[in-house]
Copies of this chain bind each other. A is one copy, B any other.
Amino acid sequence: MNNTVILPRGGFFLSNDTNKLSIFALGGVNEIGKNMYAIQYADDIVIIDCGSKFPDETLLGIDLIIPDITYLLENRDKVRGILITHGHEDHIGGLPYILRQFPMPIYATRLTLGLIEGKLKEAKLLGGTERILIHSESEVQLGSIKATFFKTNHSIPDCLGIVFHTPEGVVVHTGDFKFDLTPVNEQYADLHKMAEIGKAGVLALLSESTNAERPGFTPSERVVGEYIVEEFHKARQKVFISTFASNVHRLQQIIDAAHVTNRKLALLGRSMVNVVTIASELGYLNIPEGMIIEPAEVNRFDSSRVALLCTGSQGEPMAALSRLARGNFRHIEIHPGDTVIFSATPIPGNERNVAQTVDDLYRLGAKVIYGSGSVTGMHVSGHASQEELKLMLSLMKPQYFIPIHGEFRMLHQHRLLAEAVGVEPGHTFILNIGEVVEIRKGIARQAGKVPAGNTHVDGLGIGDVGNIVLRDRKHLSQDGILIVVTILSKSEGKIVSGPDMISRGFVYIRESEGLLDEANRLVTDVINKLQTENINQWSTIKSHVKEVLGRFLYEKTGRRPMILPVIMEI
């Protein structure tokens, strides 16, 4: 036995000495949203997910953020395709933008593909995109990498975890998951398959960290259904209920509650209609015949026989529930005594909008059920809490661990959980986007970077709004702009017209005539003085005007508007 060679796990014999396995994220680590990961072996790159995220309040005017795919564009010939774990925006929202730059084949399950196809159709990209339908038992060969799959529980049906069989060993990507042992619609997770994968040996695990700060075990989705039915029973008038349109399990439970309480159901809000249509066409929603009615029909029924399923659970100002709360929705009004249920917990950053909507609803006299789902019972998370994360780690028993989907503190807490269940210290990699973990002969190390970053979508522009434009927007938003237009005569060396002052977002001109008159005199003096001294480079004149005017205005108003001297010469 002394001569036995201990082989590194993961298939040393298949490995080519010069080849290596690389794992990196183009989005989704040290951030929430915009998920995009890559597994590369030799000349084969496989992508997982292509999400978007919303900008924070510092990125003024930006509509959406998607991953920077420079690395993929530079390695076009190596990219074998993109596997999608599930149909949430933070996993599919980037597709219409990325595919326009770089068409590649998409692999996804039925519901996920249905939702993606809706997006691609809108973006006029459906025809040009190769789409491959997969399911949990599929095997996909992508160059030297083979992908197999396992079912997981999450707040949308048809979710997959992915197993990558590479010459270097097995890499598992969980996608989003929880362990829901009493799932809605029989969407059971492949618990036994996960156990087998772990038993056969996992070289590296990428597991999601959204709830890594949360102790315990996330409650089953089914629990929410019981609370909903109870409120539907209690209500004597209309029931409005709002949740994430994509939470198809929740939609099913709301449909069921309407059914057992003998209510018709109206769908309010574009994305709600959209998801219910796709999900029911594909068989993921079971809707009793004749239950769904049009908004215009609502008033034909007794108020105790109607429920309304609305968008707007996050208080989004233009969503159905917010418009209803403001009394601004065609055909439908909320009356005193109606019940309104928020079947969602406000996401940090959305509290103010939700609170505003609740205030408006109370003003209308409604009974409102709102606040954290853990208090109201009206919402549970779709993500694994600490005990479930430990369960996944214990099933997979990975040699190396890469926590994904989360900001640093979540990845950090996930590392602590991993170490608590036996992942060796030093075997966890907390990555920034672009940072590469390289595995060769069973040994992992962090090695180099690929280009990665945020690409801003603004209107039709993808990536054309950079730091200079954003810095200007920031400046303009705080103190506005003061434009100073002057015409100089080249021949005579003096001011022919102006200086004229135009203020936007700084002061209201009619109320600030004194201030601007004084500013005008200052600018005139500066320019005249420079002309007398024969200093007539525009750049010098401009910088003098900026300096003198900036100092004067700050002294008088405590503000620093952008000052834009425009000098024309004739």
List the B residue with the shortest CB-CB distance to A487: B568
Against B, the Cβ 8 Å flags (1 = close, 0 = not) of A467-484 are 011101111111111010
Whether A480 lies near B61 (C-beta < 8 A) is yes
Within the complex, what minimum Cβ distance (angstroms) separates A304 from chain B?
24
A297 within 8 A of B: no
Number of interface residues of A (CB under 8 A): 67
| A279 close to B (CB within 8 Å) | no
- Distance, CA A231 to CA B473, complexed state (A): 45
Q: Does B481 contact A504, Cβ atoms closer than 8 Å? A: yes
Query: Which chain A residues in 311-353 approach chain B with CB under 8 Å?
Result: 348-349, 351-352
A408 with B564: CB separation less than 8 A: no
CB distance from A74 to the nearest CB of B (A): 20
Q: Verify if A507 is at the interface (C-beta below 8 Å from B).
A: yes
Whether B358 pairs with A409 at a CB distance below 8 angstroms is yes
Q: Does B476 contact A504, Cβ atoms closer than 8 Å? A: yes
Give the complex CA separation of A428 and B477 in angstroms.
42
A451-503 residues at the B interface, CB under 8 angstroms: 458-461, 464-466, 468-470, 472-481, 483, 485, 487, 496-498, 500, 502
Say whether A359 contacts B409, CB under 8 Å: yes
Asked if residues A408 and B559 are in contact (CB atoms below 8 Å), the reply is: no
Contacting pair B502 A460 (CB below 8 A): no
* Chain B residues with CB under 8 A of A348: 351-352, 355
**Residues on B with beta carbons closer than 8 Å to the beta carbon of A557:** 458-461
Chain B nearest CB from A340 CB (Å) reads 12
Q: Which residues of chain B are near A213, meaning CB under 8 Å?
A: 371
A122 located at the interface, meaning its Cβ lies under 8 Å from any Cβ of chain B in the complex? no
Would you call A476 and B473 a contact (CB within 8 A)? yes
Shortest distance from the beta carbon of A43 to any chain B beta carbon, whole Å: 33
Contact of A355 among B407, B466, B470, B474 (CB under 8 A): B407
- B558 with A508: CB separation less than 8 A: no
Which residues of B are found within 8 Å of A558, using beta-carbon distances? 458-461
Q: How far is the CA of A461 from the CA of B508 in the complex (A)?
A: 12
Contact B61 A485 (CB under 8 A): no
**Taking the complex as formed, is A56 at the interface, i.e. its CB lies under 8 A from any CB of chain B?**
yes
Q: Closest B-chain residue to A472, C-beta based?
A: B505
Decide if A57 is an interface residue (CB 8 Å cutoff).
yes
Is there an interface contact between B473 and A505, defined as CB atoms closer than 8 Å?
Answer: yes
Contact B562 A504 (CB under 8 A): yes
A476 near B505 with CB under 8 A, answer yes
A362 close to B412 (CB less than 8 A): yes
Asked whether, in the complex, the Cβ of A508 is within 8 Å of the Cβ of B466, the reply is yes
The answer to whether B459 and A497 touch across the interface, beta carbons within 8 angstroms, is no
Is the C-beta of A363 less than 8 angstroms from some C-beta in chain B? Answer: yes
- A354 CB to nearest B CB, Å: 9
**Residue A188 lies at the interface, judged by CB distance under 8 Å to chain B:** no
Taking a contact as CB atoms under 8 Å apart, the answer to whether B485 and A568 are in contact is yes
CA of A119 to CA of B469, assembled, Å:
38
A60 in complex: contacting residue of B362, B466, B478, B568, CB < 8 Å: B478
Shortest A39–chain B CB gap in Å is: 26
* CB-defined contacts of A412 to chain B, threshold 8 Å: 362
27 A-B pairs in the complex with CB atoms less than 8 angstroms apart: A60-B505, A61-B480, A61-B505, A61-B559, A349-B352, A362-B412, A368-B409, A458-B557, A459-B479, A459-B557, A461-B557, A461-B559, A466-B508, A473-B477, A473-B478, A476-B476, A476-B477, A476-B480, A476-B481, A476-B504, A477-B477, A483-B566, A485-B568, A496-B570, A497-B568, A502-B566, A570-B570
Query: What 9 A-B pairs come out closest when comparing CB atoms?
Result: A459-B558, A477-B477, A460-B558, A476-B476, A472-B505, A359-B408, A348-B351, A473-B505, A459-B559
Given contacts A61-B479, A355-B409, A468-B508, 20 further A-B contacts (CB under 8 A): A60-B505, A61-B477, A61-B478, A213-B371, A348-B351, A362-B412, A363-B408, A458-B557, A460-B556, A461-B559, A464-B507, A464-B508, A464-B512, A465-B507, A466-B508, A476-B477, A476-B481, A487-B568, A487-B570, A504-B562
